[in-house]
Amino acid sequence: MGTFSNLLESIKGTKGPFIEAISGLDLEVQEGEIFGILGPNGAGKTTLIKILCTLVLHDEGEAYVRGYDVKKEPGKVLNNLQAVLPGSRGFTWRLTGRQNLEFYSLLYGLEDNVAKKRIEYLLELTGLLDRADDDFQRYSTGMQRKLLLCRGLLRDTPIILFDEPTTGLDPSSAAEFRSLIKDRLVAEEGKTILMSTHNLSEAQGMCDRIAIMDRGKITACNTPDRIRYEMVDENQFNVAFHETPFTGKHEVMLNRLQEISGIQGVTPSIDPTDGLQELSFRIDKLMDLSVILEVLLNYDLNIKTMNTMEPTLEDAFIAITGERPAVPRRRVRR
Amino acid sequence: MIPIALKQIIAFTKRDYQRWSSYKTTVITQIINIFIGVFSWGVRASYVQRTVTEMYGSDYISFLIVGVAISNLILPLVQGVERRLNPWTLETILMTNLSTTVFVIGNVMWKYIFSIITFVPYLVIGILVFGAKLNVNLTATILAFIISAAILMGLAMVSSGLRIVTKSTDPITWAINILQNLFSGIAFPVVYLDTIFFPGVSTVSWFLPQTWVYHLCRLSMLTNPNLLDPGIMVQYLKGLVFALVLFPVGYKIFQWGVLRAKREGTLGHY
């Protein structure tokens, strides 16, 4: 049974400029998976997360969390799901981390002894135990994010939503936070994660499946690898040469290469002194590379290295949305 | 076994107390404000030296000291929730599935307790320094406080519900508060308005919820009323009607505000 299922027609404002954040979105998330929502700014990722945690009401369509309608049964939905939203929302800056958690544990209705144990466990889990009795205002951004996670986990719901979980964290804190989600929450505790992110390498490294949202619609939904392969038709093939003066015959060779079926483009890299250094081919994914090599060998070129670069999630993202993501990713060499 | 709703209200109160007490300077200045405030009003009242024959048959010092003390009870209650409506906090709190009533009562409780704490020195200084004479019926006072709390929390919910939508001061609470200054009789008996302006103008006062808060508290603290006296009973019943209307209306308006903001996707907006 799907953990979430959505079939949202639209969410729109009733006054001011017409806003249609989500339209015709059909999505299902399975238990125990990490599901990523990718998309450019304004794609509707945060709106989707807020619909699921009952903070935004959709006008039409249906959204369910473990069978509960988010519109009609918000209480039951919130018993199954918590969200970790960015920023230091709702914490009292002059209280300690532990005091803040104690406050929320009471709002969640936890019994005192259960709350105490849970808070202790979560502080240990997130590595905040040593700083639990420091004022929240003394916490670094990474620690604040961890306390947000502690709050999200207080109720021990099976589903956790993250909106841009590592935005604003330094690389090591971000890596630590990702590991916490993947290794502890999912692998050890079996939680289901739905996260929105701009960070494609994060999505590729963490998510079992991703959906790419653009202008309120899901334009692709699959595993990161399948999206990479299916959404981008081309590979890149690079051949580097030992010193080879670029002559007229190489011009002819380039023309010949351009005409080969399966080659979408050839870009030479020519140095004024060293001559032809590299040829970069955009080729069909299933192209037989020996056809290219055959031509190159006919022109007495000394090949130094060859490699094929597979499409990255960034390539897929650009192909789908036409926009470059906030955090670019290098191609993967093979 | 403490009911969970009560535990939640205590949690809010504890949080607000801890936050308040962490600002040492604020604590000191607020205590100074109480003393300066009561002396300032006491000196003014001593200068006037008039008997409030129109309504409560008390001297002006007693009338004014009680009025000012009550106004200190009122203001924090109305502002309590409104000032806590930081949209980020609201989103987080709503995700805990907390009931509206607990949210509102929880957010005003510390303010209310603090107001009651400050209420006492006002009265003590009024009596000891300025010779204010109270004529208190304890049961009537407790009843007046309960009715007042319901009226003021109703107002707080109206204000908060509208503020969630407007994101600024809401026009209804603004109007009520502005009219309160003139018509609720903080510093003079409301019937005096008929003398100053024209006969019948004080009728406006009795449509303002705050007037009933001042009136019932003054009745109970200045006139030692007999609750079984039909005339007194009618006064309390009228106040009670205000409470019984305003509290559920406030509750509905608060819920309407939250729902509308959810529909517009503006719950987290400033």
B250 in Cβ contact with B231 (< 8 Å): no
pLDDT at residue A16 above 80?
Answer: no
Looking at every residue in chain A, the average pLDDT score rounds to 83
Is the minimum CB–CB distance between B14 and chain A shorter than 8 Å?
Answer: yes
- Whole-Å CA distances, A278 to A57, A206, A271, B226: 55, 35, 10, 103
Of B93, B94, B95, which has the smallest distance from its Cβ to A82's Cβ? B95
Inspect the interface and report whether the beta carbons of A89 and B264 lie closer than 8 Å: no
Inspect the interface and report whether the beta carbons of A95 and B19 lie closer than 8 Å: yes
What is the 3-state composition of chain B as percent helix, strand, coil, each rounded to the nearest 5? 75, 0, 20
User: What is the pLDDT averaged over residues A39-51?
Assistant: 85
CA distance A28 to chain B (A): 22
Which residues in chain B are contacts of A89 at CB distance < 8 A?
88-89, 91-92
User: What is the pLDDT averaged over residues B85-92?
Assistant: 70
Which residues in chain A are contacts of B21 at CB distance < 8 A?
none
Q: What is the pTM (predicted TM-score) of this model?
A: 0.77
For testing contact with chain B, the best of A71, A107, A136 (most B CBs within 10 A): A107
Is the minimum CB–CB distance between A13 and chain B shorter than 8 Å?
Answer: yes
pLDDT at residue A20 above 60?
Answer: no
Report ipTM for this prediction: 0.79
Looking at every residue in chain B, the average pLDDT score rounds to 84
Give A64's contacts (C-beta < 8 A, 6+ positions apart): A2, A4, A5, A6, A70
For testing contact with chain A, the best of B6, B13, B86, B95 (most A CBs within 10 A): B95
**pLDDT tens sequence across B241-257:** 999 999 999 989 988 99
**pLDDT confidence bin for B205, thresholds 50/70/90:** confident
**pLDDT confidence bin for A299, thresholds 50/70/90:** confident
Which residues in chain A are contacts of B12 at CB distance < 8 A?
103
| Closest CA in chain A for residue B98 | A107
DSSP one-letter code for B171? H
Inspect the interface and report whether the beta carbons of B88 and A89 lie closer than 8 Å: yes
**pLDDT tens sequence across B39-75:** 887 787 777 777 777 778 788 888 888 888 888 777 6
Radius of gyration of chain A (CA): 25
Label each residue of A138-156 as H, E or C.
HCCHHHHHHHHHHHHHCCC
Is the minimum CB–CB distance between A10 and chain B shorter than 8 Å?
Answer: no
CA distance A58 to chain B (A): 7
Residue B257 host element (H or E): helix B230-264
What phi-psi label fits residue A249: left (phi over 0), alpha (psi between -120 and 50 degrees) or beta? alpha
